[in-house]
Structure 1
């Protein structure tokens, strides 16, 4: 979704916020820690079962994009699937199975937060994901790519189209 000026309501689990530290190269971890501190997500590091304001987490993601670029933000999204608890584990599924779980994952990792994901298989190795979440499209593109890879794809390619409050992702693997 295109970043809007309105702040999203709701909370995100610490498990997902912690990816900002665990999912980046060690050389960037201290800067990520500083960005979390600046948003009031202060030491100790985010705790997996704690809840943090979604707006603050989103501010950190936007700061990553502004300070380090789109590639860095996409890499944070791409790392996310390795660090969250999936409704069905990667060992038992395919890229399509993983991508179809994004809506359930969003529900598990958020409370009272706007948005959702819809999944449509468009072929044996292709799918369309539509997002109405408040996350930056670049981060979501990484999340989708990382999900396909976490669930067994050797590679994944994602094309993004933003239109109003929806972002569509065409993914192939």
Structure 2
């Protein structure tokens, strides 16, 4: 159940997503699982149940506390753990399917107004993901990499080229130009869009 719910009236988030918070923090160190639960409890989320919904504001506050106290790497791991908890359609079988469907799945995992959105536009290289959500940048980066892990192969890679101001610097909407491939041989065949390679902040991540 969620306590102090009146403090966080408004949108809610599926309990399975909140459970991914615990899993992502625990991935850093087993000891951190209890710490993650204490952080959630401080923001009114206790007795975590996957079938319940919890105030989105409380969950976002807990995520920001992790960002302040442990840094972006832990937040990235929380994002990586999240795709396994999202309510994907059985029709989603590939990485591209997942990015195309991400906006709908994000809506299903949240309830209420002002929960944000994801929009994906495929292109010859992969596609552009536009993120307008209340979640921090490091979480979204981890979410993208987690989708590669969840729907890709053990040898799959996703390259992320970002544009737009970071939210910590007052930014709002973030754009991620994405390229993915299944094997190392494909890396030689696919190059990221040059305009974003010059202006964005490139990151390459193995999806494992």
Unmatched segments (≥5 aa) in structure 1: 1-6
- Pair member with larger Rg: 2
Given candidates 63, 78, 81, the residue that maps to 1:79 is 81
Structure 2 unaligned blocks of 5 or more: 1-7, 166-170, 181-208
Cα distance in 1 for partners of 2:97, 2:53 equals 27
Question: Superposed, which structure 2 residues align to 1:23-172 within 5 Å?
Answer: 23=24, 24-25=26-27, 26-42=30-46, 44=47, 46-88=48-90, 93-114=93-114, 115-124=116-125, 126-153=126-153, 154-163=156-165, 164-172=171-179
SS at match of 2:50: coil
Distance 1:158 1:100 in 2: 16
Question: 1:96–1:148: 8 Å Cα contact kept in structure 2?
Answer: no
The aligned residue for residue 14 of structure 2 is 13
User: Which whole-Å CA distance do the structure 2 matches of 1:113 and 1:135 have between them?
Assistant: 15
**1:37-70 deviation line (CA, Å, top 9, x unaligned):** 100101x2x2122111111101111111111111
8 Å Cα contact 2:76-2:139 kept in structure 1: yes
Deviation at 1:8, TM superposition (A): 9.4
Structure 1 partner of 2:184: none
**What are the Cα deviations for residues 84-116 of structure 1, in whole angstroms up to 9, with x where unaligned?**
321236xx5111111111101111100114211
Q: TM-score under structure 2 normalisation?
A: 0.72
C-alpha distance in 1 between matches for 2:90 and 2:128: 20
Question: Where in structure 1 do 4 or more consecutive aligned residues deviate above 4 Å?
Answer: none
Q: Distance in 1 between matches of 2:104 and 2:117?
A: 9
Shift of 1:148: 2.2
Range 20-29 or range 98-107, more displaced: 20-29
Asked if structure 1 preserves the Cα contact closer than 8 Å seen for 2:23 and 2:78, the reply is: no
Q: Which structure is higher in RCO with an 8 Å CA cutoff and minimum separation 6?
A: 1
